[in-house]
Structures are given as structure tokens and as C-alpha cells.
Amino acid sequence: MKDSELQIDRSCHVLYSKPCKKEILAKIALHYPEAERETIWEQVQRQYAAFLSDWRTDLGGKKNFHNGVGGTYDCIAIMCFYDVCRDVVTFREMEEIEENLILPSFRKLRFVDINKPFWKKLMYRAFSTAQKHCDTWHDYEMDVAPYENSKPIYYEFTTCPAAEFAKRFGFADIMPALCNVDYASMELLHAKLVRTTTCVDGCRCDYTICGDKDPYVKEHPEYRDENGYRRNK
């Protein structure tokens, strides 16, 4: 099915991104013979349209930067792919899809070093700006703590539409594959993420961010929990 034929309300929703479609098709090609691939992809498309017909319409459409590559709607498309192909796709393959959408932008910023005060303060300003966008759309409810030179950056989300979607439609089990990319993205900036909970299994998703040379990192070692989430003690 052509993307243009997909029956979604484009006045409030957006289509999955072209990179997201490419990643999903690549995974389908790994597991299905060529003669079946188009049918499998159409099942993913139809599931996407079906879910959106029963989903909130206040996420800002194309105007909201959270709906771009790797964002809320791509996460929904990835969950639709999982719904159709869960019998064959692996957890790691699901992680790879989101990584391939999110990490290219961070790889372009490898010159950034959060161990240095200049870059740390600039990152804080970026998060503060992001909070203003969140306040506009009220999709992700974000709170950024005041900046302190001697402490890591801290912010948290108390609502997340991807997590909300996952819990409503029964995809909480695959959310670790979508959330873990936050760790990998920070590592490309010589930073470390310290996290103890997410919006899927708690009341917030916490982000404590410091340079990868900060002693704080050793005080909060990382591990994977029983659900596959990367977390810290």
C-alpha cells in the first residue's frame, strides 16, 4: 500500500518517517521471503492506521518537533511492527531500529564533551529550550532542575505519549528497546545517563546527566533489569 493511501487523519496525526519505514522494511527482509514482505508491511501499515483511529489527537502533528524522526509517531510505527512480527523479531533488532533513527544526529556532535563546563552549560540550555516546547504541546510533561556547576544536569518527564500508548495497547514489554537509546546517545557526547525509573513502570522518566569522567558515574553503576531496561543503582 502506498503511504498516501493510508487512512489516517492527517489534520492531527503524522505518518511515520521515511527513515523509520526503511528500518522496518529492512527488519522484515531479514525474516520473511521476498514474496511475503509486501503483505507483512501492509499489515504494519493497517495496524498503524487502526491504532491512530483510536488515539489522542492533540500531539501537534507536523508542528511538534517530537513527531519527527525517531519521535512519538515513529515509536508507534515500531510498536505496530512488533505487533505484527513479534514471533520472529528479536529484542536487539528492536533496539537497533530506534538506534538507527536517533543516533546519526548525535554522531555528528561527537566533538561535544560534557566533561567541559562550556558544553555542559550548553546542554542544559538545550534541555531548558526543550521544556518550553513541551509546555506548548503538553505531550511530554518535562521539568528541568536549576543548573548547578558542581552537580549533574537533572530533568524528568512525568508523562510520555509513547509510554502512554505502550501501556494502553499492550506494548510495555518492548518499551525498553525504545528507551535504552537514551544511554547510547549520551555516550556519543562523552556523557553518561543515570536513570532509575521510566514512565512505563513508574511515575516518571528521570535523566541525570554528567560527563563520563565524573565520579558520580562510578557511584551509580549501570545494569540491565529483568525487563531489559538499562538502569543505574
Cell numbers 533496539 correspond to: 95
Report the DSSP beta bridge partners of residue 159. 141
* Percent of the chain with pLDDT strictly greater than 70: 100
DSSP E strand boundaries for 99-228: 141-144, 153-159, 191-194, 205-211, 222-224
Count of beta carbons in the 10 Å neighbourhood of residue 231: 20
Structure-block grid coordinates of residue 174: 518492548
As a whole number of angstroms, the distance between CA 19 and CA 178 comes to 15
Q: Are 20 and 62 in contact (CB under 8 A)?
A: no
Q: pTM for the whole thing?
A: 0.95
Q: Which pLDDT belongs to residue 193?
A: 98
The predicted-structure confidence for 140-159, as pLDDT tens digits, reads as follows 999 999 999 999 999 999 99
Residue 51 has pLDDT above 90, yes or no: yes
* 183 secondary structure, DSSP code: H
Q: Which helix (H) or strand (E) holds 102?
A: helix 91-107
Residue 138 has pLDDT above 90, yes or no: no
Please enumerate in sequence order all residues whose Cβ is within 8 A of that of 18, keeping only pairs 6 or more positions apart, or say none: none
* Percent of the chain with pLDDT strictly greater than 90: 97
As a whole number of angstroms, the distance between CA 191 and CA 4 comes to 41
Count of beta carbons in the 10 Å neighbourhood of residue 71: 23
Among residues 101, 90, 232, the alpha carbon closest in space to that of 162 is found at: 101
The predicted-structure confidence for 168-201, as pLDDT tens digits, reads as follows 999 999 999 999 999 999 999 999 999 999 999 8
Structure-block grid coordinates of residue 32: 520473511
Count of beta carbons in the 10 Å neighbourhood of residue 39: 10
**Long-range residue pairs from 207-210, CB within 8 A, at least 24 positions apart, any chain:** 207/153, 207/154, 207/155, 207/156, 207/182, 208/152, 208/153, 208/154, 209/114, 209/123, 209/152, 209/153, 209/154, 210/114, 210/152, 210/153
Q: Which pLDDT belongs to residue 127?
A: 96
